[in-house]
Every structure is written in structure tokens, then in C-alpha cells.
């Protein structure tokens, strides 16, 4: 086997429940938001980091919970924006900053959600194709 395939096979292959996948995505995105705020303060860096989290979430969710992957990644994106989205003073300023960040980064949000949905769909189709078909004659 090529060395690349061997190294990929050594990677962890967890199977998260729907809730576990949601918690994973939300926690990682919040931590990435905090790190981004400390190091860069850029919404674009945060949004680009969102894409690998979408891929990992969709790949690591177990087969029975595949439909949750495209649902939890936008929630994780919004939660991770809390430390990154700058706003004015008070609650209304913070809310305006959060909504502005969601509006300006909507393309990345839709792209990441689409990636998670495509991976979940491909996994579901492959799962359905591998099931034995019963003949009820």
C-alpha cells in the first residue's frame, strides 16, 4: 500500500452520535473563534477554518445520525462567531455585530453546510446500496 493510504488508515475514526457531532462542531468552532480573535481578528480566517470542521463533522457522525450533520454545522458556525463578531457597547451592539458577521460570511456558511450535506448524502447513498435487498415473492 502507498504510504499516504497507510497514514490515512492510522488516523482516528470516531463515530459520533448526532448530539456528539453537534457538540464537537460547536466546541471546535467556539475554540477556533477564540483563537482567531486572539491571533488574527479576521472573519475570513474563521470562515475558512469552518470548512474542515464541516468535513470532519460529516465524516465522523455515525450512519444512523447522518441527517444531523447539515443541521449542526450552521449552529456551530453561529456559536463560534460570538467571540469573533465585533460589536458596539451593550447587548444591541453585540447583536448587530453578530448579525452583520452572519450576513457578510453567509457564503462560507452556505458552502460549509453544502459540504456537510454532500458528504452525508454520499455516505447515506453508499449505505443504502450496500444493504441486501429482500425479495418478498
Residue that wins the pLDDT comparison between 118 and 5: 118
Percentage of residues of the chain with pLDDT beyond 90: 69
Chain centroid to CA 99:
19
Residue that wins the pLDDT comparison between 29 and 15: 29
- pLDDT score for 136: 59
- Cell 488574527 -> residue: 40
Angle at which helices 106-130 and 43-60 cross, to 10°: 10
- Cell 463560534 -> residue: 80
> Please, are residues 29 and 50 in contact by the beta-carbon 8 Å criterion?
yes
pLDDT in tens, 65-114: 999 999 999 999 999 999 998 777 888 888 899 999 999 999 999 999 99
- pLDDT score for 74: 97
- pLDDT score for 107: 96
- pLDDT score for 9: 75
Q: What is the pTM of this model?
A: 0.85
- pLDDT score for 85: 86
- pLDDT score for 3: 82
Angle at which helices 43-60 and 69-84 cross, to 10°: 150
Asked whether residue 135 carries a pLDDT value surpassing 70, the answer given is: no
What are 11's three cell numbers?
Answer: 488516523
Query: Any idea what DSSP says for residue 10?
Result: T
- Cell 463533522 -> residue: 57
Give the whole-angstrom CA distance, residue 47 versus residue 51: 7
Tell me how long the chain is. 137
- Cell 453578530 -> residue: 98
Amino acid at each position: 500500500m502507498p504510504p499516504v493510504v497507510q497514514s490515512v488508515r492510522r488516523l482516528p475514526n470516531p463515530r459520533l452520535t448526532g448530539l456528539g457531532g453537534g457538540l464537537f462542531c460547536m466546541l471546535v468552532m467556539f475554540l477556533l473563534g477564540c483563537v482567531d480573535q486572539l491571533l488574527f481578528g479576521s472573519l475570513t480566517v474563521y470562515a475558512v477554518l469552518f470548512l474542515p470542521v464541516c468535513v470532519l463533522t460529516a465524516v465522523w457522525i455515525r450512519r444512523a445520525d447522518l441527517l444531523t450533520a447539515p443541521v449542526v454545522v450552521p449552529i456551530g458556525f453561529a456559536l463560534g462567531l460570538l467571540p469573533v463578531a465585533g460589536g458596539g457597547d451593550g447587548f444591541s451592539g453585540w447583536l448587530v455585530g453578530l448579525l452583520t458577521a452572519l450576513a457578510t460570511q453567509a457564503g462560507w456558511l452556505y458552502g460549509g453546510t453544502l459540504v456537510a450535506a454532500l458528504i452525508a448524502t454520499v455516505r447515506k447513498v453508499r449505505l443504502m446500496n450496500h444493504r441486501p435487498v429482500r425479495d418478498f415473492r
